[in-house]
Structure formats: structure tokens, C-alpha cells
Structure 1
Amino acid sequence: MSEVNLDHWEKRSAEHQKLYKQFLQRADKNKVLKQLPSLHEEAFEKIDCLQCANCCKNYSPRFKTPDIKRISKFLGMKEGTFIETYLTLDTEGDYVVRSKPCPFLGADNFCSIYEARPSDCHRFPYTDEDVIIKRPAITLKNSTFCPIVFYVLENLRVTK
């Protein structure tokens, strides 16, 4: 893999959005999927999520029914109380957090419900699954705030 410079990655990601979009449209899905496990691992070795937490500071995962049940139990709350306290419905009818940053994000960027966190949080940033190709709009958005997505896309793009 080529060494991706992470200095000013946000600016470079913004400049590369058109390139990423073109790449994702034309990419050989099987070739990309073969590269993802090692790129995903490499990105997580180089980038510490606890230094960033942009995902938790600026966006909300979807809280699906199993997530709500699991987290409510973890917090010792009734599901209805959990929903009333922390969640709201978005325009797509999904439960999301009421406020940003996420109410479960600590000042140290640790998640207070990490063991029970929503599936979306567990899977984010989707750099080890086919979501990266299947849902290019999500991938492009994620590349603007997640250095791991930027890193993976940069490597995929240059190693076609």
C-alpha cells in the first residue's frame, strides 16, 4: 500500500470528492472487496479514533429496535424513557440522538455505552464491508469527516 499523508486530510478529502465519486462508480467490486480487510486494518493502526471522534461529535447513528432494547437494558432504563430522554425521529423515520455531540460521548472521547453501542456505531466506518461500494453517497459523506475513510479511499484510488 502507498503511504497516505494524513496532514490536512479534511481539505484533501474535500478536493478529492469528485475523484472518489468517479472511482466508486467504476470500481471493480471484487477487487475492492479483496483489498478492504488489509486497508481497514492498516488505517486503524495509523489512526486513533479516540483522537478524533468526529462521527460522535457531528452525526448520529440509527438506533434500531434491537439497539434500543440492548442500550436501555445496559443503562437500566425503560425503553420508552430511553427514547424520550435521548432520541428523536429523523426525516427518514429512524431514531437518532436528540443532541450533538452524542450524549454518550465523554470528554475523553470514550463512549459510555461502548459495550452496548448501536450496530451503526459498531460497523462504522464501513471500511471493511461492501457498504463502501454499495452506498457511495454514504462513503463520500463519511470521507469528509472520518480520516479512516479518507485513508482507505486514497489507497483504493491509487492502487486501482
Structure 2
Amino acid sequence: MDGLLHNWQKKAQEKRKENKQFLQRLQTKKGKGVEKQLPALHEEAFSHIDCLQCAGCCKTISPRFKTPDIKRIARHLRLRESDFIETYLRLDEDGDYVVKQSPCPFLGADNYCSIYEARPGDCKNYPYTDSYDFLKHPNTTYQNTTICPAVYYVLERLKQVVGK
């Protein structure tokens, strides 16, 4: 299966339309057990992928920082919440707090996260390849195929398992 990951970004770009259509078709298969395949495919993907070799998520997208995240991270950094927000965050078009810049200011040159123990919930759950969110939010999953090799891998394997 490692061949599946060879040139994954290029293949993800080439398969954008196919992947979008597949994810839309999965919406009509709710309750047909497709989501039960995800935990095993997630484990399979991460037996081939080391996030520290990529960090594409941290380099290109921002998690949402919810109130509990802000409180926890500010405490971790020994900052007042208002100072943490002012220094690192901005409100996006949806009214969510996100980092001001990409890559994430907490991402080190070695791809390690300096706030890993206190990281936002979105970071803990990303790339959602082991949960129903993978199917529930097809547009996000579709976009993530070009950002995260695990998303690409799980989607390609899901196409093999349930059929295109």
C-alpha cells in the first residue's frame, strides 16, 4: 500500500473531481456501514505515515480555537487569555478564532508542536479519518485530500473497500 502514497499530492490534485463525486455518493449510503470501515483504515494509514515528516496541516490550515482551547493554551503559555488572543489569533469569516498566520506559530522547524500537550481539540482530532466526521463533512474531507496524506490514503482505500 505504500505505492498508494507515492506522489500522493499530485494524485490528489488529479483526482479532485473523482474524490468529490465519491464523497457525495457516500452521503447517500448513510447507515450502510461505511463509517465502520474508518477506524481500521485510519490505523492502516498511520502505519505508513509519520505526521512529523509532513505537518501539512500545521503549515497550511488553522484549527478553530474554542473557548476551552484558549483558556488551556493561555494557561500553558502563562499568558492572559486576552494577550494570547491578541498575539496569536484572529477571527475568521465564520466568527471562529484561528491563528493569524500560516504556518502555525507553534510549529517548530522540526515539525514538532510547542503546545502539543495543550493543543486545540481540532488538532487532536485531525484528520478525522477515524470518525464519522470524515463522511459528515465531505467538502472538508475533499479539501483535506490535498493537505494530508492520511486523508488521501483513507479515501483511496475506502474507494477500494466500498467500490467507486
Q: TM-score range by the shorter chain?
A: over 0.9
- Cα distance, 1:23 vs structure 2: 1.5
User: Considering only aligned residues, what root-mean-square deviation do their CA atoms show, in Å?
Assistant: 1.2
Counterpart residue identity of residue 48, structure 1: D
What's the secondary structure of 1:46's corresponding residue? coil
Task: Give the match for residue 71 of structure 1.
Answer: 73
- Cα distance, 1:133 vs structure 2: 1.0
- Cα distance, 1:22 vs structure 2: 1.8
| Maintained 8 Å contact 1:88/1:97 | yes
Unaligned stretches of 5+ in structure 2?
none
Q: Does 1:11 align with 2:10?
A: yes
Q: In the aligned structure 2, how far is the partner of 1:51 from the partner of 1:74?
A: 26
Q: Normalising to structure 1: TM-score of the pair?
A: 0.95
Counterpart residue identity of residue 112, structure 2: F
- Cα distance, 1:132 vs structure 2: 1.1
Task: Give the match for residue 62 of structure 2.
Answer: 60
1:43 aligned residue (36, 45, 68): 45
Task: Give the match for residue 151 of structure 2.
Answer: 149
Please give the per-residue CA displacement for 1:90-142, whole angstroms capped at 9, x wherever unaligned. 11111000111101000100000001000000000000111111110000011
Counterpart residue identity of residue 17, structure 1: R
Count how many residue pairs are aligned between Structure 1 and Structure 2: 159
| Maintained 8 Å contact 1:20/1:157 | no
Q: In the aligned structure 2, how far is the partner of 1:50 from the partner of 1:139?
A: 21
Q: In the aligned structure 1, how far is the partner of 2:35 from the partner of 2:149?
A: 19
| Maintained 8 Å contact 1:4/1:151 | no
Q: Identity percentage over the alignment?
A: 60
| Maintained 8 Å contact 2:23/2:142 | no
- Cα distance, 1:10 vs structure 2: 0.6
Q: Normalising to structure 2: TM-score of the pair?
A: 0.93
- Cα distance, 1:4 vs structure 2: 5.0
1:123 aligned residue (125, 128, 143): 125
| Maintained 8 Å contact 2:45/2:153 | yes
| Maintained 8 Å contact 1:86/1:97 | yes
- Cα distance, 1:31 vs structure 2: 2.4
Q: In the aligned structure 2, how far is the partner of 1:24 from the partner of 1:36?
A: 14
Q: In the aligned structure 1, how far is the partner of 2:134 from the partner of 2:13?
A: 17
What's the secondary structure of 1:88's corresponding residue? strand
Unaligned stretches of 5+ in structure 1?
none
- Cα distance, 1:3 vs structure 2: 6.0
Counterpart residue identity of residue 59, structure 1: I
